[in-house]
Amino acid sequence: MYAQLVETGAKRVKSLDEMSPEERAFQEKIDAETKIEPKNWMPEGYRKTLIRQISQHAHSEVVGMLPEGNWVTRAPTLKRKLQLMAKIQDEAGHGLYLYSAMETLGADRDEEIEKLHQGKAKYSSIFNYPTLNWADMGAVGWLVDGAAIVNQVVLQRTSYGPYSRAMIRICKEESFHQRQGYQILLDMMREGTDEQKQMVQDAINRLWWPALMMFGPHDDESPNSQQSMAWKIKRKSNDELRQMFIDQTVPQLEYLGCTAPDPDLKWNEETGHYDFGEINWQEFYDVLKGNGPCNRERINTRKKAIEEGAWVREAAVAYAKKQKQRAAAA
Amino acid sequence: MSEWRLYEVFVRSKHGLNHKHVGSVHAADAEMAMENARDLYTRRNEGVSIWVVPSDMITASASDEKEVLFDPSEDKVYRHASFYELPDEVGHM
């Protein structure tokens, strides 16, 4: 998931009887699957939770460009370079759709980006891992975008209209990302040297667990989930989504001829799902707190991009003013 | 970015269809809004024409006006063709 541990401010979910008339009318609308639109009344907690979740989602798209940007100049062929650039451009676009959706809630884009740079806002833990070899580009597309798709497909039905519509656009574009990633790995496994095949397995070994962490903590460790589910901001629980992802990914892993770094991963005939081992939650919380392998580097790169691009934004404003004055004088 | 105006973007997906609202962009002026809208909303042949409109130029109905605006039309069933029943012998009309 691109949003993890989103604070709702609620200790427990209120029953309909405990709500004010406005809150009750709102909740009934949600229960009837009516989308909430920007001008509708909404509880302050709903607005704040959405701003947190959508901004975190947008920041993830934007920071998500960085591990891939590392490989634009190192892509093995022109075809792969073009595909990678198209994927990165999509991610910039997805960030922008989401920032726009967030702004309909009255949040200011600059302020939210500033919160990211000060370490007050989060982005997905997955982007704090380095991309060390070319197979990582394949594994990121396949596993990371794959995990994001599982989450985002469900979010198309989220209760807030602008967020839901942004998710629909994003999902349409995202499946190209996952396919191009898988194809990179397939090519390496089919036509690669032994060393290249080892690179694929190495990339999977490093990214497998961080990809599973993307869905966030266990349901019983996730105090905000209940309120988010009641508001239908979230539609499925973290554990449900993680299981869906594993069930659809393991056959693809086997087709590649690779393995997961999890000795407990096996098909369970009784449940009809794959069983899998316990995630290293200490690592998850460490990365979220800012102590992953690349946290500092990612934030510094973002800050540098904003600072070094300041003159372009200033020039654009100056140019627009000058054109306006010229038009008025003519 | 606060100095940049917000524009709403409308895209005509095919000749003969209406422009449809797709989202918004920030830009220093209308020309830049057009360029940003092209890059953001039509990367995969989604359109043949784009409108950009400054968001603050749009007057929108408020959701709490819904009843005032739209309820009066609900009880005027005689505005629909299906209100007028014709004998089968008359055929299609």
pLDDT digits (tens, 9 = 90+) for A15-69: 888 888 899 999 999 999 999 998 889 999 999 999 999 999 999 999 999 999 9
Paired strand residues for B19: B12
Q: Which residues contact A209 (CB under 8 A, 6 or more apart)?
A: A261, A262, A279, A280, A283
Q: Which residues contact A95 (CB under 8 A, 6 or more apart)?
A: A58, A59, A61, A62
Closest CA to A126 of A201, A57, A174, A176: A57
> Per-residue confidence at B64, pLDDT binned at 50, 70, 90?
low
Interchain pair A323, B29: CB under 8 A: yes
Is residue B91 situated within a structural domain?
no
Interchain pair B40, A96: CB under 8 A: yes
Contacts of A103 in chain B (CB under 8 A): 6, 24
CA-based nearest residue in chain A for residue B61: A39
Paired strand residues for A188: none
**Nearest CA distance, B83 vs chain A (angstrom):** 29
Angle between helices A295-308 and A109-117 (to 10 degrees): 140
Domain that holds residue B23: 5-86
Q: Which residues contact A120 (CB under 8 A, 6 or more apart)?
A: none
Is residue B46 situated within a structural domain?
yes
Closest CA to A299 of A51, A120, A86: A120
B63 → closest Cβ in A40, A96, A313: A40
Q: Is the ipTM of this complex over 0.85?
A: no
Rounded CA separation A48/A174 (Å): 27
Q: Looking at the predicted structure, is the pLDDT value of residue A267 above 50?
A: yes
A39 → closest Cβ in B1, B28, B63: B63
| DSSP-assigned states of every residue in A202-221 | HHHHHHHHHHHHTT-S-GGG
- What is residue B3's predicted lDDT score, i.e. its pLDDT? 75
Q: In the structure encoding, which two tokens stand for residue A99, read together?
A: 């920032």
Q: Looking at the predicted structure, is the pLDDT value of residue B75 above 90?
A: no
Is residue B9 situated within a structural domain?
yes
Separation in Å, CA A3 to CA A126, A252, A324, B20: 11, 25, 42, 30
User: Which residue intervals of A257-280 are DSSP H helices?
Assistant: none
- What is residue A1's predicted lDDT score, i.e. its pLDDT? 45
Q: Looking at the predicted structure, is the pLDDT value of residue B15 above 60?
A: yes
Interchain pair B44, A173: CB under 8 A: yes
B43 → closest Cβ in A93, A110, A317: A93
Rounded CA separation B16/A149 (Å): 33
Overall domain count for chain B: 1
Chain segment A207-239, per-residue pLDDT in tens:
999 999 999 999 887 777 888 999 999 999 999
Is residue B66 situated within a structural domain?
yes
Q: Which residues contact B71 (CB under 8 A, 6 or more apart)?
A: none
Q: In the structure encoding, which two tokens stand for residue B1, read together?
A: 């970015």
- What is residue B1's predicted lDDT score, i.e. its pLDDT? 54
Contacts of B2 in chain A (CB under 8 A): 108, 110
Mean pLDDT for all residues in chain B: 89
Contacts of A313 in chain B (CB under 8 A): 1, 4, 28
Do A268 and A275 contact (CB within 8 A), yes or no?
yes
Interchain pair B28, A324: CB under 8 A: no
Closest CA to A127 of A330, A270, A302, A304: A302
pLDDT more than 90, % of chain A: 85
Q: What is the mean pLDDT of residues A143-168?
A: 95
Interchain pair A323, B32: CB under 8 A: no
Q: What is the CATH number of the domain that holds B76?
A: 3.10.20.520
- What's at B4, amino acid-wise? W
Is residue B93 situated within a structural domain?
no
Is residue B65 situated within a structural domain?
yes
CA-based nearest residue in chain A for residue B2: A110
Q: What secondary structure letter does DSSP report for A264?
A: T
Chain segment A95-148, per-residue pLDDT in tens:
999 999 999 999 999 999 999 999 899 999 999 999 999 999 999 999 999 999
**Nearest CA distance, A181 vs chain B (angstrom):** 19
**Nearest CA distance, B45 vs chain A (angstrom):** 12
Interchain pair A103, B6: CB under 8 A: yes
Q: Looking at the predicted structure, is the pLDDT value of residue A87 above 70?
A: yes
| DSSP-assigned states of every residue in B47-83 | -SEEEEEEGGG-----GGGHHHHHGGGTT-GGGSGGG
Interchain pair B60, A39: CB under 8 A: yes
**Nearest CA distance, B27 vs chain A (angstrom):** 9
B3 → closest Cβ in A100, A317, A319: A317
